[in-house]
Structure 1
Amino acid sequence: MANTELKSDNLFEMMKIHLATDAGKELTKKIGLVYQINIAPKKIGFDEVSYVVDLKKGEVTKGKYEGGKPDAIFTFKDDDFIKVATGKMHPQIAFMRGAMKIKGSLSAAQKFTPDIFPKPAKL
């Protein structure tokens, strides 16, 4: 597996910190689902790096989900994930264009919105 630096890595690090805040704890209570997100550096299906966003426990971990099946699995190219997570691309548009693939519960997937990500700090 290629050990490439993904732009998404920083976003997941910020998410870990965000989930420890009061706003993050509210999200955990409100959503209560587990997502696995696979990020491909260039092309979906190649050299993917997996992250688990556990909105039951309020954790973000690198690697595949090991507690059974996640509620939904998303697959993105690195650049497309950043666009969706920062609100620059609507998740439905990403899905229709094939920039985002979803497996699992569609109702769970619909709760996965840019709102769950920390907002970038304005300078």
Structure 2
Amino acid sequence: MEKKPYYVSVQAKTVMENQGDAAYELEIEATPEDIERLKTLFEYMGDFDHGTFMKSHALAFPYHLDPENDGYDTNLRAVYEMMYEWGTPETKRHIEQAGLLRLEPNNEYAKNQSP
């Protein structure tokens, strides 16, 4: 399937086909199947986010011992890995400069890094 531009707000967990529909942080080139995978991750993040919200009203849980936080973080990393893989050069630069991923020499997302 052919890739086309999409505009993504990780904060709002939205993906738009039209640039002017709403605010966005990142521009990517992806297939509709890619976008379905991304939307699924956003749904998982929402589920984990809801779980952390509910816990915040109960007993105090240390962040590092909280499976909901771990799940949210894991999905967030996966989202940024996808954004880097599918991102425009500007999107990739943004992710690199913000330090949102560990881009190591053997990391598949670091292929385009200059030494």
TM-score, normalization by structure 1: 0.29
| Structure richer in helix, relative to its length | 2
| Structure richer in strand, relative to its length | 1
**Larger Rg: 1 or 2?**
2
